[in-house]
Amino acid sequence: MNTEIKVYYEDTDASERVYYANYLKFLERGRTDYLYNLGFTHKNILEKYKFYFVVKNCKIDYKKPAYFEDILKITTKIINISKVKILFHQQIKKNEELLVDSEILITPVFFNGKIAKIPNEMLEKFST
């Protein structure tokens, strides 16, 4: 799954490079689009299943910077999934040049903080 974004001034620091923490926002957009592509939204997951996903672990390798007004492509794919976690591999590229390589582990959590289990109907869609 690919998501395209444009780097705005608000995403950059004084050097017009993307501020390092903003890559996390870009990666979140990629994972959200991945859910949307499967027919899920954060809101309908919360309403139907009473849980939401939280980031449990994040590994990012910053290879090269992105700059103001760059057009970036975020590639998102699942590399491991179970009832209680999803491990995503995500990359951010500019014109096929790798800028960021990451693995993001998310887990479903109820409002009380306890781990939820991903329903089979969701797992089936994630596995297609």
Active site residues: 13
- The values of phi and psi at residue 123, to 5°, are -60, -40
Task: Report the DSSP beta bridge partners of residue 93.
Answer: 73, 98
Q: Provide the pairing of β-strand 97-109 with 52-62.
A: antiparallel
**Are the beta carbons of 60 and 26 closer than 8 angstroms?**
no
